Structure 1
Amino acid sequence: MTGMLTAPRHVLSAAPASRRAVVSGVVAGPLFLAAGLAQGFARDGFDFTRNAISQLALGEAGWIQTASFVLTGTLLIAGATALRRTLRGGPGGTWGPALVGVFAVSFWIAGAFPADAGAGFPAGAPEEAVMSGHGAVHMFGGMVGYLALCAAFVVLARPLAARGLRGWAVASRVVPVVVLAGFTASAASVLAFTAGAGLGLLWLSAVTARLADR
């Protein structure tokens, strides 16, 4: 009798935790971008046409962006866990969440290894950035993370199609091309890089919400 009375409590307690994980994955990208935009407009010398959001981790107020990296990585890990539960036993159920997990870890790496100063930010920094060890790790971690995210979108197109969401499945295969195009154009325009990175974050939020809703 005791076992019968306690079992439902476990079932009820599991549902809110799963929902929190979904919400974490959905808000991660928009929250990161909102924090970056707010700081970019508030910090002296920062120019979105010349500086990357990662550089906000430099200077006296840099701890805010570092905290944003760490928090976003944590939220994305929760989102990857939610995807794993949602897709378990189905198409993309293994590699989709795993690749999102790699993307999440890249934010922790970005927080631990800051980008290099350059393009006049922080104030007094030279125009030309000099690649340092921590800057190289930052760049490599971000590259691996976004490649993993693009691969995750392709993998997640399968469960989207399996659920009859054909338009979403097609878009999930097109978005990686746009993200990578933005990164390729970053040599000519930092805004292209920021737009590509932002699109990847927002599309991950949308896909996480859509798959969890089914």
Structure 2
Amino acid sequence: MTTRTPTTAGTAASPAGTGTPARSATRSLLTCVVVASPLWAVVSLTQAAGRDGFDITRHPLSALSNGSLGWLQIANFLVAGALLAIGATGLRRALHGTPGSTWAPRLVRISGIGMMAAGLFVMDPVDGFPAGTPAGEAAALTWRSYAHFAAGSITFTSLIAACYVLGRHFSRIGHRGYAIASRVAGTTLLIGNGWAMGGGKAGTLTLAVGAITAMLSISVIANRYRRIR
């Protein structure tokens, strides 16, 4: 007579290709998070390289929402934000019962909602972009710009906090490499955003680097948990 040793759901004991419908659903939700950040980064940087008059050292990536092709960046914000907001449920399931399991998914969801708001509220044309816009800062901003900046602040703050919460999560479960990488990603965005807000030289570039680094770190972490489901 043989006995079977029970396994715990969600551990590596079950092959990734098998499992309950709930596990498959969790993997699908995590895939949303995995895809969101690379998608946003690739679409944004491709436009930054190809749109006439755009200079990433002078113009924030959000400015790409202006002009005849602005709909591309607006859609980019909406789709990537929705993927993060929806996929946060998968992250909550994957982290269940571990340190940070409550706040990390909440913060990722808030960042996704913030991105969608940033897409809906388009910032004003700025410093010569798109073509025909006067050089320099505008004398006055529209309410849409203020709403966009508020949405951006919510997004960046929640991303930074999520990175630090995930850093603590990995420290507590003994994964030092992921813990360090998460904190470095959060700090990169914290510094990049602070430099940009302070009017530092090429601040829009440091902000872009920080935002993409933090977002990609969330995707890498989601992919880690997706692989072991």
Q: With structure 2 as the length reference, what TM-score do the two structures score?
A: 0.83
Partner of 1:20: 28
CA distance in 2, matches of 1:37, 1:103: 20
3-state SS of the aligned residue for 1:124?
coil
The 2-side partners of 1:92 and 1:80 are apart by 13
User: What SS class does the counterpart of residue 100 from structure 2 fall into?
Assistant: coil
Say if 2:163 and 2:214, in contact at 8 Å, map to a contact too. Answer: no
1:1-214 alignment runs, 5 A limit: 12-130=20-138, 131-186=141-196, 187=199, 188-189=201-202, 190-214=204-228
5+ residue gaps, structure 2: 1-18
Percent identity over the alignment is 38
- Shift, 1:16, TM fit: 2.9
Q: Work out whether residues 117 and 129 of structure 1, in 8 Å CA contact, stay in contact via their aligned partners in 2.
A: no
* Distance in structure 2 (CA, Å) of the matches to 1:94 and 1:173: 18
TM-align CA RMSD: 1.6
Give unpaired runs (5+ residues) of structure 1. 1-10
Quote the Cα distance in structure 1 between the aligned partners of 2:84 and 2:174. Answer: 25
Cα 1:41/1:170, change in 2 over 3 Å: closer
Residues matched between the structures, number: 204
Which residue type is aligned with residue 150 of structure 1? I
Partner Cα distance (2:187, 2:172) in 1: 22
- The Cα shift of 1:17 comes to 2.3
